[in-house]
Amino acid sequence: MSEDARLDLGRRQRLGMVEAVWGEHKSADQIAAVMLGLHRAGELALVTRVSAEKAAVVEQQLADHIGADGAVPPPEHHPLARCLTWPTPPPVDPAFGRVAVLSGGSSDLAVAAEARLALACHGVASDLVLDVGVAGLHRLLGELEGLRRARVLIACAGMEGALPTVLAGLLPQPVIGVPVAVGYGVSAGGQAALIGMLASCAPGLTVVNIDNGYGAAMAALRILQLATGGTSAARQQGA
């Protein structure tokens, strides 16, 4: 295993967040070394953008560090979110309330799943509200009453990316828009959705980068931490 990674073991103390690792451009050796280093430090490892094939190699490399009696569970690959976690995310902290993660359609589901998993790694409960894109606006309107109970809304949308604007015009909670790289021609890999969200006339809409479900989750976490006064047990060392 490669041992050249420099881990940020103080991120939880500084920011109330576990360190997340971008896995797409790292080798299985590098990912395994990082996850082992975090595990030895008593930290939860969250690695994003990991294919099933790469995850299988990482799991094999870490097999010697998994207890035969089940005391140390194996890393878990989350295929839809394309992420690896080790160990299991902490229990839900009810002080945070709930986050609603919405998607315009099922093509946005991988990005929404990444956001939900990143929230779960910090003890934040979330609900998935699927297929509420503006092409069928009646479906979103039918969800409004339930959405009012969420503390933060994360809206993942491709094409023209109108869903976050509509939400921010209808509901008072913080709305975080995630442009998704879905759509024909001029959608340009999510750039049309990104520009549309940035040009939104809905006041106070927050926008993260294309396909950045993790970044949206961490923006929501910052809001929730401020609202709860930084007292969540899920953010303590070793939670």
Output the pLDDT for position 70.
55
What tokens does 206 get? 């927050």
Q: Judging by beta carbons within 10 Å of its beta carbon (0-12, 13-18, 19+), is residue 70 exposed, middle or buried?
A: exposed
Lowest mean pLDDT segment, chosen from 21-25, 123-127, 175-179: 21-25
Residue-wise pLDDT for 95-109, tens only, equals: 999 999 999 888 899
Residue-wise pLDDT for 76-96, tens only, equals: 999 999 999 998 899 999 999
HSE value, Cβ hemisphere, 13 Å, CA-based, for 118:
30
Domains of the chain, residue spans: 11-86, 94-228
Q: Is the pTM here over 0.75, yes or no?
A: yes
Output the pLDDT for position 237.
47
- Cα three-residue angle 181-186-191, rounded to 5 degrees: 40
Residue-wise pLDDT for 31-55, tens only, equals: 999 999 888 888 999 999 999 999 9
pLDDT band at 144 (very low <50, low <70, confident <90, very high): very high
CATH of domain 94-228: 3.40.50.1970
